[in-house]
Structure 1
Amino acid sequence: MCNRYIFPALLLLLTGNTYATALPADTTGMQKIQQLKGVDVQAQYHRKTDDLIDVKKIAAPTLVIEGKTIEQMGSRRLDEVLREQAGMAIVSDLGAGNRSIGIQMQGFSSAYILILLNGLPVSGRFNENFDISRISVQDIERIEIVRGASSSLYGSEALGGVINIITRQQVKQTGGQVSAIYGAYRTADISASGETPFARKKGTLHLSGNYYKTAGFNVNTMYLKEGQTAPPYHSFSGQTRASWQLNSNNTLQLGARAANRHSVMTRSYGAQPFSDLLDETDVNAALSLRTTINHSTRLLTRYYFTHYGTDQEVKVVETGKRLQENKFSQQLQRLEIQGNKEFRDAEFELTGGLGGELQHMNNSAVAGIPNQQTYFAYIQANYTPTAKYSLITGLRYDGNSLYGGKVNPTLGMEYKPFRWLQVKGSVGQGFKAPTYAQAYQVFTNITQGYTVVGANVFNTAVEELKKTGSVQAVWSNAALIKPLEAETSVSWNLGSKFIFGEGYTLSVNGFYNNINHLINTEQVGIMRNGQQLFSYLNLGKVYTRGLEASIELNLLPDLRIMGGYQYLVARSRDVEDSIAAGNGAYGKVRTDKGIRAAVKSDYFGLPNRSRHMANAQVYYTYRPWKLSASVRGNYRSRYGFLDIDNNGYIDNYDVFVRGFVLLSVSLQKTLLKEKLTLKFLVDNITNYTDYLVPAQPGRMFMGGFSYRFGGKSESSRK
């Protein structure tokens, strides 16, 4: 493919002028992306300054959570916000010592959900799981969520969806805020921020910092004699955003964030206690230039750097003997150009971009990890001939120096036959390259004893383990292990939105996702200690299908009621085919009466997926007293947790987490001309806990305040 001609031509198409010649002729790479039109999200529309992708012009199901709602919830970390959204499930990564809390959407695990900060990826996945509890909700203006395959728009990690965290965008006057909350489990959340325009408002500056601390907790007192199931830790984070208007057409922007987290967990399962220490660092920075060529043409050029590092050490408490040490770091650099061009009074619109990434990883347990270079180009066309019809088509190319390239197309439509009805649908293809962990990780969980070896280094790594006497047996299925292929998917969404007057909406969406070349985690041997030896194979075919529904009722100017429901079926076709054939790897189940042939009804589905999920939220403000309150509830039906009969799937004789309900309330009272806000909240009112849900704390009482100084805030939270 001749990038020398394709890239300038793409930019020329977007801008319609000679600015395309500014792109170097030797630019390498191309990627595919698509952007779709039209879900009218349940929030006021804001134009972003960090990228040119418009969430209102995406045909996939879309949700926007406004900063005002986050404040009324009283949430402190990102996982607390997302767990209360319909169809979004929180799952703990047990292999990471319960430190990592991931998110599921439409049955896709955390490994398939892309986390963005102001339109740019945040690095750092522990055991493939991005820990959303790392992110403080301070300064979040809104959260944009795209459900389903979005690889054609955002890249290969977005096979299952995108969560884009948008921080404060506008600074119009000097001001600031301090806040503090303290409560159960000695949890403290302290924040401070300040902002100001300068140079006659040509420049703006916003600074903020957050300190978070928790003593951890233990919901498994029956088996865990000492320590916590969720670790104690403290973290610091700071971020800044600055902009400088160079002239009437160009604005320079700088964004930076730095954070660290330190946790030490002491545990004992009846034997000698051991301590598990983990230090994490997280740094990212972006420099961008926004150019407005004319009223219909915009460009954005940006450079981005991110670094994530961990240092883990496990020691025997009494002797100080080191059982495990692992240092890991990941760095990513990205250069990207985006463009947007409107034609014929926005009847036709093009959005596209191109760029490349350089990714470097280092692990003290693995030598010779190769760097990865990725390159991408994408373009999306939005065509709206009338107010009733719109069509969106997109194309993205992603290239990877280790796994080759892939083109991902997308097609979407929206139809508004009546003022009270909107119908939208989309079909898109996704692509996901294997992760570092799946390809190169060599990891032994000291607390449980199992070992995981990446597929690309399996043979050499296992030979080294054999020399140390750690491996008892390698099974015959290990012969199938080979360098991994990328996963691909096709996603379908069809939905309707009913508008019953101002402030009354009902949305219903059906989805179907089909994944090929699924990378399965499989046991391929036994370690000398009797625990499992795992690796990864491209064997699976998986599908998820279901129905999502949400309702919003604005009964009074200050009373808002919201609710949602998701029905989900998530299954492996390999398991279904094996059971139907009555043979193969999945043809048996172990019951209380012995082993027998499996039948269709035995198969429950993929682990950690609930068939039913629902939520309800009520927000009310009583203006005479300047008092606001929220009452929120979430339901999750039972889900499979552990395959105890080792037949490779969750059947009705395995371990399940029982269905449960979480209830929370919050109260806020403003004083001193709305400068001071007093806060009180109770999470998990019924004190629900389960040792199989180690990151879910019991009842939490929290109280605190926030104080704003300077001019009145102009953020979207007001």
Structure 2
Amino acid sequence: MNISSSISSLSCTLFLLLCLEPVHAQDSAKKLQEVIITESRTRNLDNVINIHKVPAPVTIIDKKTIAIMGSRRLDEVLREQTGMAIVSDLGSGNRSIGLQMQGFSSEYITILINGQPIAGRNSGNLDLSRISVSDIERIEVIKGASSSLFGSEALGGVVNIITRQQVTQTQALVSLQHGTYKTTDATIEAETPFAKKKGGAWLTANYYRTDGFNVNTKYLREGKTSPPYDNLSFMARTNYDFDKAGSLHFTARYANRHSIMDRSYGAMPTRDVLDEDDLNAMLAHNLKLGVNTRIISRYYFTTYKSSQEVTLRENGITLQNNDFKENIHRVEMQASHDFKPQKLSLIGGAGGAWMQNIAEAKGAGGNMTNYFAYTQASWQPVNALNIIAGFRLDGNSVYGQKVSPAAGISYALNSWLTAKMSVGRGFKSPTYKQLYQVFTNVTQGYTIVGANVFEQSIADLKAAGQVQAVWEIAGAITDLKPETSTSWNGGVIIKPVEKLKINFNGFYNTIYNQIVNQQVGLKKNGSQLFSWFNIAKAYTYGAEAGIHWNPMKGLVISGGYQLLYAKDQTVIDSIKNGGSKYRTVRAPNAVRPAGVSDYFGLPDRSRHMANLQIFYEYKPLGLALSVRMNYRSKAGFQDMDNNGYIDRYDAFVDGFALLNASVQKKILKERLTLQLTAENINDYTDYLMPAQPGRMILAGLVWRCFKQAQ
């Protein structure tokens, strides 16, 4: 019997045993009520980093909110938050769904589970639809450069997924949702304390499937823009308290996804089959030395494996095979100490990681070693003032060392007005693919060449008779440099009355040596030839506003708005100077000289985004309702005249709004919850957004079992 079958069997057995127990449902259900998220409740047993003491804007999404929304995958939760956009990676077969924050794309946002990185990025995106929300206790989101605590890839921010931390009583649940596109989401979960509550065990299994959908019926004659897939995941955690020796925690997660993409645009129908396996595990020892000191030692391992095969459907001829595997071994020691009289808190940590990439494509594999050390101090010299400062040293076997500092300050001007400001630095090393990979997409014909092997690889391609022309811009290709960023955030929090909170935040981010890919020539088959460049400077800036209002018991109204400008300074300077590639735009009537006002900005960024959420819970009837709206203005999609940037005459994704709603009803003394969810009620689709489904209606139920209190 394999590991996944064993976990599933154990979950089912525990669930059945619980359901056979006599139940005092009313008493037990009260114990299951969600608690308010406070600083003490958001402390992580596996991590000394306190989310409330991070010098950057922070958002916390709790399990209760996720449940009322009726969401099933991580991307569905994050797309409804202020200033967060979900974007498909068209180059990876529309499978990879990434996150944008403050204008930073997915490759600049670190995705963590319990403070540890997840492996398996595709073209920079870490596909958020791989992650089921059934495992999630809360989601912590940090906006802006966070490398001072979280390391490389955190130029734009961090999403930290926190799973179940503590087990207090024996209980279990099973949930099922089913609806449009034959979407099915099923979860079984069980937990129990043991050894007189010194230990606890929790495990869950989730199965998700969808038939996929097609939002491009105009051009795609056969197949789906978002493929059908099956996803099976398991997660388990156990912990044991050794009294004075501290506590030991072990967490493990495994997920498998199988998808088939059949496509036909009228010629050469293809079948694209992708299998993915994702495993991560962590062993942590949490030692408390008195009430003010913690030391955590932890080892973490994660691996991601994908196998892709593209064939012609007519004759089964294989067009392309891609096999990729990534392994990460990571060790770390953390410490924290609170100086109570001085109102000073210190945290620090050090560790290292060994990363291995294994791939068939030329130049896509290799090994890399990282080491790091970080520290941060939080000081409250007076009650109204809090000061945070810290830095992180990262070393890399290829790029040497880099220091990332960060600082923040908050000051309560009075009882209802608090001002905050933070600044942080971030950095990101190039990937093996950007450096060394030479990859040809057989179905579309294009080739992309790593920057550090460009000269020799182009010579080889020319000798093979594959190159028609290499453009002048290719002369700017050099060995890639690491990217760095600086993020400024500043704003105010206003609490005019007890149940109303309003916040304003402005941000300005600069990115130096940003890595982008551009077309640098043509192949003899007419397809494009791409490579990678560092651009001197890009920037994003804008503002966010949010409101959280609790006008009456059980009713919460929240909303937010983001204004964003995201541009490449190199393009602006080149337009001003009449640079050869950037000097013209193709207007509707003629090609004319370009002006700075013609430049719209970086692709996939909307100038305006807004959201509104209304949650209402009436406990006497066991009723919970939610209505949510999200809006995005138009976003640049593709440079149509090959002048190197998105101008006002290029292709855009139109602005759109999505309306979602859900209702829950608890019956049988809160043991059974019935749920109806409606998403994209207005049925908006766009073929340029291949992963945005049309209207979806899903019905579901949750059955809870509780062991009788002794």
| Candidates 416, 420, 432, aligned match of 2:416 | 420
- AA aligned opposite 2:506: G
Secondary structure, aligned partner of 1:326: strand
Secondary structure, aligned partner of 1:418: coil
What is the number of equivalent residue pairs in this alignment? Answer: 674
Equivalent residue, structure 2, for 1:457: 453
- Structure 1 CA distance, aligned partners of 2:519 and 2:485? 25
Once the two structures are superposed, residues 503-552 of structure 1 have per-residue CA deviations (whole angstroms, 9 ceiling, x without a partner) of 21001000000111111211111122212111111124100000011100
| Candidates 641, 646, 654, aligned match of 1:645 | 641
Using the size of structure 2 for normalisation, the TM-score is: 0.93
8 Å Cα contact 2:363/2:432 also seen in 1: no
- AA aligned opposite 2:322: N
Equivalent residue, structure 1, for 2:349: 353
- Structure 1 CA distance, aligned partners of 2:645 and 2:439? 23
Once the two structures are superposed, residues 156-195 of structure 1 have per-residue CA deviations (whole angstroms, 9 ceiling, x without a partner) of 1100000000011110111111001000001100111111
Residue 233 in 1 paired to residue 205 in 2?
A: no
- Structure 1 CA distance, aligned partners of 2:707 and 2:520? 63
Deviation of 1:419 after TM superposition, in Å, equals: 1.2
Deviation of 1:477 after TM superposition, in Å, equals: 2.6
Equivalent residue, structure 1, for 2:439: 443
Equivalent residue, structure 2, for 1:340: 336
- Structure 2 CA distance, aligned partners of 1:547 and 1:447? 42
Equivalent residue, structure 2, for 1:102: 98
- AA aligned opposite 2:209: K
Residue 119 in 1 paired to residue 115 in 2?
A: yes
- AA aligned opposite 2:700: G
Equivalent residue, structure 1, for 2:405: 409
Residue 141 in 1 paired to residue 137 in 2?
A: yes
Deviation of 1:437 after TM superposition, in Å, equals: 2.6
8 Å Cα contact 1:43/1:65 also seen in 2: no
Deviation of 1:476 after TM superposition, in Å, equals: 3.0
- Structure 2 CA distance, aligned partners of 1:469 and 1:58? 55
Question: Residues 389-400 of structure 1: matches in 2 within 5 Å?
Answer: 389-400=385-396
Residue 685 in 1 paired to residue 681 in 2?
A: yes
- AA aligned opposite 1:483: D
Question: Residues 606-685 of structure 1: matches in 2 within 5 Å?
Answer: 606-685=602-681
Deviation of 1:447 after TM superposition, in Å, equals: 4.1
Question: Residues 545-624 of structure 1: matches in 2 within 5 Å?
Answer: 545-624=541-620
Deviation of 1:245 after TM superposition, in Å, equals: 1.2
CA RMSD of aligned residues (A): 1.6
| Candidates 486, 495, 508, aligned match of 2:491 | 495
Deviation of 1:636 after TM superposition, in Å, equals: 0.3
Change over 3 Å in CA distance of 1:596–1:517 after alignment to 2 = same
- Structure 2 CA distance, aligned partners of 1:703 and 1:479? 58
Residue 470 in 1 paired to residue 457 in 2?
A: no
622-631 or 222-231, which deviates more: 622-631
Residue 165 in 1 paired to residue 156 in 2?
A: no
Once the two structures are superposed, residues 607-657 of structure 1 have per-residue CA deviations (whole angstroms, 9 ceiling, x without a partner) of 100000000000011233211110000000001000010111000110001
| Candidates 169, 172, 177, aligned match of 1:176 | 172
- Structure 1 CA distance, aligned partners of 2:452 and 2:540? 28
Secondary structure, aligned partner of 1:365: coil
212-221 or 245-254, which deviates more: 245-254
8 Å Cα contact 1:95/1:445 also seen in 2: no
- Structure 2 CA distance, aligned partners of 1:315 and 1:574? 41
8 Å Cα contact 2:327/2:356 also seen in 1: yes
303-312 or 245-254, which deviates more: 245-254
Deviation of 1:344 after TM superposition, in Å, equals: 3.5
- Structure 1 CA distance, aligned partners of 2:464 and 2:133? 46
8 Å Cα contact 1:60/1:493 also seen in 2: yes
- Structure 2 CA distance, aligned partners of 1:368 and 1:214? 31
Change over 3 Å in CA distance of 1:345–1:196 after alignment to 2 = farther
Residue 378 in 1 paired to residue 374 in 2?
A: yes
8 Å Cα contact 2:506/2:544 also seen in 1: yes
Residue 542 in 1 paired to residue 538 in 2?
A: yes
217-226 or 42-51, which deviates more: 42-51
Using the size of structure 1 for normalisation, the TM-score is: 0.92
- Structure 2 CA distance, aligned partners of 1:208 and 1:704? 18
Once the two structures are superposed, residues 240-286 of structure 1 have per-residue CA deviations (whole angstroms, 9 ceiling, x without a partner) of 01101123341111000010100011101110211011111100000
- Structure 2 CA distance, aligned partners of 1:582 and 1:130? 38
- AA aligned opposite 1:202: K
Once the two structures are superposed, residues 315-356 of structure 1 have per-residue CA deviations (whole angstroms, 9 ceiling, x without a partner) of 000111111111011111100000001114361111010000
8 Å Cα contact 2:617/2:624 also seen in 1: yes
Equivalent residue, structure 1, for 2:69: 73
- Structure 1 CA distance, aligned partners of 2:324 and 2:659? 38
Q: Give 5+ residue unaligned stretches, structure 2.
A: 1-35
Secondary structure, aligned partner of 2:547: strand
- AA aligned opposite 1:184: T
Once the two structures are superposed, residues 535-586 of structure 1 have per-residue CA deviations (whole angstroms, 9 ceiling, x without a partner) of 1111241000000111001011100000000000001111111111233431
Seq. identity, %: 53
- Structure 1 CA distance, aligned partners of 2:618 and 2:173? 24
8 Å Cα contact 2:416/2:495 also seen in 1: yes
- AA aligned opposite 2:265: Y
Equivalent residue, structure 2, for 1:246: 242
Q: Give 5+ residue unaligned stretches, structure 1.
A: 1-39, 714-718
- Structure 2 CA distance, aligned partners of 1:442 and 1:348? 52
- Structure 1 CA distance, aligned partners of 2:306 and 2:215? 26
- AA aligned opposite 1:620: Y
8 Å Cα contact 1:61/1:147 also seen in 2: yes
